[in-house]
A and B are shown apart, each in its own frame.
Chain A
Amino acid sequence: MPLLFAQGLRKSFGETRAVDGVDFLVESEELVSLVGSNGAGKTTLVNLLSGLLVPDAGSIAFQDADITAVPVRDRIKAGIARSFQLVNLFDQLSALDNVRLAIFSRDGTTRQVLRLAERNRHAREEALEILRDFGLEDKWDTPAAGLAQGERKLLDVALAYALRPKLILLDEPTSGVGTREKGTIMDAVAQLVQARGLAAVIVEHDMDVVFTYSHRIVMMHQGKVLAEGTPEQIRADERVATALLGKA
């Protein structure tokens, strides 16, 4: 069985069918890229998988358990974490505290009311280590609001990563950052995903990035899956070329 298996997913916003009968699966330790033009339904699909939205129809199974209607918190416990296209951070907290909070929450220690957060050496060490992995160790005590856009993107991914998920959903982790930083972010992500044996779903516009890092590519168009396959297969697919690459 695949790690994640979604069948016949549908989600409409008014008249718009954002996701229109999508079957989608992710194997363990697989890096899947979701591509497609704006409005293809990529982010909606990620929102359905992560629990931000509930599907109108269809089902989602994770590790053989049905999670279609399971709330966000329980999905995170099951091992699904996500980052956001528009960065979602705790802006007034330091980079360290941002990551540390994910660790506290993962370990169930946010219930500790009468113990100083600083006293938890393990959480502190682990948070610093994660910041190091993402190249943010120098910024550990900068509030998230004071970080550069690329750093904020990295920290957003780091928060999801700190939850130690089995599957990480990354919604455009490189959008809005410079070309050079894009490589840095994706290198970090790909390396960490492989080192930890995570599976990842990455929504991405930059086809160079997609072809470089993906094991498999799923191409969406108007709420449906248009094509899927290995980078080589997708590169050779004429429908993809006309729908996406032709425009670029």
Chain B
Amino acid sequence: MSSVQHSPDAALTLGTARDAHRIRPALWYTAALALLALLLPFLEGVPVIGWLASPFQRIQLTYGLVFSIAALAFNLLLGYTGLLSFGHAAFFGGAAYAAGLLVKYLHVYSMEGFLLAGLTSALVLAAVFGSVCVRYTRIFFSILTLALSQVLWALALKFFWITNGTDGLSIPTPTLLWGLVGTSGDKVRFLSFTYYYYVLVIFFVCVAVMGVIAASPFGKALQAIRDNEVRAQFVGIGVRRYRWYAFVISGAFTGVAGALFAPLNGLTTPDILHWTFSGKIVFMTVLGGFKSFIGPILGGIAYNYLETYVIKTTEYWQMLLGIILVALVLVMPRGIVGVFAWGSRREQRNR
């Protein structure tokens, strides 16, 4: 890095440009993985990776991508703005419920309708929650977000004549692209192929947009606030207002994830409004690595596999998740990304 040219992928990491060139191989891997994801449905039966291409696995990956969007959005607050929200279930679940209510009351079966309703509900919720929460930081912020999201959970539970209580709202297979792609009969085929691509495209768009936001002057301002609130104020940044913007943007993208989740799961229950679901989003982000931009993507996907397979093997899966979380915090605070970065550094040294 002797030249003055700034490495472009510094944009994708929270670290410095010097760190960034270490992560460059990881970017190539990312591109390769993206290509693999695009081709995945046609790789069934291919040796070595064919098993990943089965409909079941593709649906698993779709779940993972949805969680990744939520974790990425959450990390705009945690990693970039330095605010730990324990209430992101409200935006995720709120958007899923918005889709469910759209079906129940307005008989809308369009995925774009779900997305619009989900995005709008998340924007409104985040704007309101945010205006209260960003007055505080640290633990006070976390507790407020948790408390407000629990209110929403309680409402979903108690207003059962609207929300069906713990039974939840069922979400039928929607039409895609304003009815252009109709509801096919085979649900597994729909979810593992058509909907898989639908989610993948939205995932790419969300990653790109959030990537630009993170590397924009606005994103830099958020990082400045995270690093030093007083100095941010003394270079003229409206600290509280920018925290609120970050909160609303984060909530909105989490809402997109929630809306995508609804038809995938086919059912919206109060679980995804409960604070433990907020905890899962925190877990995904920390698992992947909240100090890098791509960390939460890996975290979201990895978390979904972890949950799927660990639940199958042991009834103590929550304890196992707890142990993993402790290990993460103590041994690998930079998450999966940190392990990769460490590996590539070792490789360079051995060369």
Interface residues of A (CB under 8 A from B): 50, 52, 72-73, 76-77, 81-82, 84, 88-94, 96-97, 100-102, 104-106, 109-118, 120, 123-124, 128, 140-143, 159-160, 163
Q: List, in ascending order, chain A residues with CB within 8 A of B234's CB.
A: 50, 52, 72, 76, 81-82, 84, 88, 160
If A90-B224, A93-B223, A143-B16 touch, whether A115 touches B231 (CB-CB below 8 Å) is: no
Say yes or no: B6 contacts A101, CB within 8 Å: no
Q: List, in ascending order, chain A residues with CB within 8 A of B226's CB.
A: 92
**Stretch from B124-132, B162-170, B214-222 at the A interface:** B214-222
Say yes or no: A90 contacts B223, CB within 8 Å: yes
Bound together, the chains give a CA A109 to CA B11 distance in angstroms of: 17
Cβ proximity bits B1-28 to A, threshold 8 Å, 1 near / 0 not: 1001010101100111110000000000
- Which listed residue (B1, B209, B218, B223) contacts A112, Cβ 8 A? B218
Q: List, in ascending order, chain B residues with CB within 8 A of A92's CB.
A: 14-15, 223, 226-227
Q: Which of B112-150 contact A (CB under 8 A)?
A: none
Say yes or no: A88 contacts B231, CB within 8 Å: yes
Bound together, the chains give a CA A76 to CA B235 distance in angstroms of: 7
Most buried by B among A50, A52, A91, A111: A111
Bound together, the chains give a CA A64 to CA B239 distance in angstroms of: 28
Q: List, in ascending order, chain A residues with CB within 8 A of B6's CB.
A: 96, 118, 124, 141
- Which listed residue (B16, B216, B227) contacts A117, Cβ 8 A? B216
Bound together, the chains give a CA A81 to CA B235 distance in angstroms of: 8
- Which listed residue (B227, B230, B235) contacts A91, Cβ 8 A? B227
Give the shortest distance, in Å, between B73 (CB) and chain A (any CB). Answer: 14
Say yes or no: A110 contacts B8, CB within 8 Å: no
Say yes or no: B18 contacts A141, CB within 8 Å: yes
16 contacts between A and B (CB under 8 A): A76-B234, A77-B236, A82-B234, A90-B223, A90-B231, A93-B220, A100-B220, A101-B237, A105-B221, A110-B218, A113-B216, A113-B219, A114-B212, A115-B216, A128-B4, A163-B235
Bound together, the chains give a CA A12 to CA B231 distance in angstroms of: 24
Q: List, in ascending order, chain B residues with CB within 8 A of A159's CB.
A: 231, 235
Give the shortest distance, in Å, between A106 (CB) and chain B (any CB). Answer: 7
If A110-B220, A163-B236 touch, whether A118 touches B215 (CB-CB below 8 Å) is: yes
Judge whether B320 is part of the interface by a CB distance below 8 angstroms: no
Closest A residue by C-beta to B19: A143
Judge whether B350 is part of the interface by a CB distance below 8 angstroms: no
Bound together, the chains give a CA A101 to CA B231 distance in angstroms of: 11
Say yes or no: B235 contacts A140, CB within 8 Å: no
Judge whether B184 is part of the interface by a CB distance below 8 angstroms: no
If A76-B236, A82-B234, A101-B235 touch, whether A117 touches B228 (CB-CB below 8 Å) is: no
Judge whether B30 is part of the interface by a CB distance below 8 angstroms: no
- Which listed residue (B17, B212, B230, B249) contacts A88, Cβ 8 A? B230
Q: List, in ascending order, chain A residues with CB within 8 A of B235's CB.
A: 76, 101-102, 105-106, 159, 163
Most buried by B among A52, A81, A94, A160: A94
Judge whether B310 is part of the interface by a CB distance below 8 angstroms: no
Q: List, in ascending order, chain B residues with CB within 8 A of A82's CB.
A: 234
Q: List, in ascending order, chain A residues with CB within 8 A of B209's CB.
A: 114
Q: List, in ascending order, chain A residues with CB within 8 A of B216's CB.
A: 112-117
Closest CB pairs A-B (n = 10):
A90-B227, A88-B231, A141-B17, A110-B221, A76-B236, A104-B217, A105-B236, A102-B235, A113-B218, A90-B224
Say yes or no: A141 contacts B231, CB within 8 Å: no
